[in-house]
């Protein structure tokens, strides 16, 4: 996609915030654990390679991504650290993963048999067996199937290296710990069913690392915390260290006009000015990931909350200003202005979603600009 660099709409990424968040998370680990930075989906919209570089400088020792292409992108950029893909890849790409020393999850023994056909054995494929303890997404569901897969890998050790076992919690970000404890217990049963304990045993996402101990795991798959976001939204406000949000979003007015009462604004004429008003136009829209359902939410101009009036268009939206401002005046969509602040959590709540989704939706058309840069270590 074309990046709109000749337009004032942009995502600012505070590199030192990312650095601090990862540093705190690493300091919080016990001695036997390592932090793998979860940088899938272009690092939750913050930039894959930027976040990879900062996370390593801050003490991460490996990466997790969602798809094989993200892992290959890291290898292509020269990263040699361990990488685990979190989603199931198609078995015909097993050899490609093996050649690039990329670990993949396996959830069915059939997958191993299919993958074995593609694997040359030149380099064994690193496998983390996924076990489903209550997430219902990917993973073995019975001890017997898990053990059969482990035995198969043992018997084909030229092709497979059973490097890890892991699970994923559905409710680690919830005050109610019932399901969490059930899943942790089930996980320990799965691990006990294995003839050999793999090198990596891991269960923790950000929420687990913040609010749960007691799991004998040795990797934390640290995701949303990197970006300074609380995985629970507002449900659990207490965190062992302060999370510093890294992303802000800003633009600038392209026009400001004075309109009489009764003026309609945007498609569908859903907004009609009640009185003479100042209406500003902002050059960003749903094609940038600023969703149509943000209509009625507000942005900040010069420390004033300004309502987004009328429908959000593909590339522009309108706001009601308290008085005239010249074109070029800064507009803050996420971040601080004057004494006010709008967080990703605020925007997510308004849109009826979670901050993860708002961050991931910010499209590639928006340039990502680093501030407070962390230099290469």
Q: Does 219 bind ligand PLP (CB under 6 A)?
A: no
Distances (CA, A) of 304 to 12, 294, 326, 332, 340: 20, 18, 15, 10, 8
Which one, 172 or 291, has the nearer CB to ligand PLP? Answer: 172
Binding map of ligand PLP across residues 164-203, x = CB under 6 A, - = no contact: ----x-----------------------------------
What is the C-alpha radius of gyration for the chain, rounded to an integer number of angstroms? Answer: 24
Question: Contacting ligand PLP (CB under 6 A), which of 86, 98, 116, 306?
Answer: 86
Catalytic residues: 40, 267
Q: Does 221 bind ligand PLP (CB under 6 A)?
A: yes
Tokens at 285, concatenated: 């829209």
**Terminal CA-CA length for the chain:** 31
Q: How far is the CB of 133 from ligand PLP (least distance, A)?
A: 12
Q: Does 71 bind ligand PLP (CB under 6 A)?
A: no
> By the 8 A CB rule, do 362 and 45 touch?
yes
Angle between helices 109-118 and 143-155 (to 10 degrees): 20
Question: Contacting ligand PLP (CB under 6 A), which of 119, 224, 279, 300?
Answer: 224
314 is in an annotated binding site: yes
Question: Contacting ligand PLP (CB under 6 A), which of 59, 82, 228, 231?
Answer: 231
Q: Does 223 bind ligand PLP (CB under 6 A)?
A: yes
- The helix/strand/coil state of 372 is coil
**What is the number of the residue whose Cβ is closest to ligand PLP?**
223
Angle between helices 178-192 and 143-155 (to 10 degrees): 40
Q: Does 84 bind ligand PLP (CB under 6 A)?
A: no
Angle between helices 15-27 and 48-57 (to 10 degrees): 50
Which one, 263 or 353, has the nearer CB to ligand PLP? Answer: 353
**Binding-site residue set for substrate:** 137, 314
Positions touching ligand PLP (CB under 6 A) are 38, 86, 168, 205-207, 221-224, 231
């Amino acid at each position: 996609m074309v990046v709109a660099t000749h337009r004032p709409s942009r995502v600012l990424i505070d590199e030192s915030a990312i650095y601090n968040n990862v540093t705190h998370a690493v300091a919080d680990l016990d001695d036997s654990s390592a932090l793998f930075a979860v940088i899938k989906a272009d690092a939750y919209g913050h930039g894959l390679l930027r976040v990879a570089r900062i996370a390593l400088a801050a003490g991460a020792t490996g990466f997790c991504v969602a798809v094989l292409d993200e892992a290959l992108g890291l290898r292509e950029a020269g990263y040699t650290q361990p990488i685990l893909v979190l989603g199931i890849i198609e078995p015909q790409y097993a050899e490609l993963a093996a050649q690039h020393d990329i670990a993949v999850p396996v959830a069915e023994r059939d997958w191993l048999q299919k993958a074995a056909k593609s694997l040359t054995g030149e380099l064994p494929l690193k496998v983390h067996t996924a076990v489903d303890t209550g997430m219902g997404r990917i993973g073995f569901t019975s001890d017997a199937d898990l053990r059969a897969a482990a035995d198969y890998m043992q018997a084909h050790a030229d092709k497979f290296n059973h490097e890890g076992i892991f699970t994923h919690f559905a409710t680690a970000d919830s005050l109610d710990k019932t399901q969490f404890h059930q899943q942790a217990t089930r996980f320990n049963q799965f691990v006990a069913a294995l003839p050999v304990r793999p090198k990596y045993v891991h269960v923790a996402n950000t929420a687990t690392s913040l609010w749960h101990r007691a799991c004998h795991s040795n990797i934390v798959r640290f995701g949303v915390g990197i970006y300074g976001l609380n995985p629970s939204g507002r449900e659990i406000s207490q965190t062992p260290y302060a999370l510093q949000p890294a992303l802000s979003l800003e633009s600038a007015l392209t026009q400001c006009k004075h309109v009489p009462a009764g003026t309609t604004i945007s498609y569908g004429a859903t907004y009609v000015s009640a009185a003479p008003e100042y209406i500003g136009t902002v050059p960003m829209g749903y094609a940038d990931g600023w969703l149509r359902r943000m209509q009625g939410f507000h942005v900040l101009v010069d420390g004033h909350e300004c309502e987004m009036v009328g429908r959000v268009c593909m590339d522009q939206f309108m706001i009601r200003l308290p008085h005239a401002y010249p074109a070029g005046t800064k507009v803050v969509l996420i971040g601080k202005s004057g004494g006010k602040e709008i967080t990703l959590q605020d925007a997510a709540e308004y849109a009826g979603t979670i901050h993860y989704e708002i961050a991931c939706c910010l499209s590639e058309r928006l340039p990502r600009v680093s501030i407070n840069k962390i230099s290469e270590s």
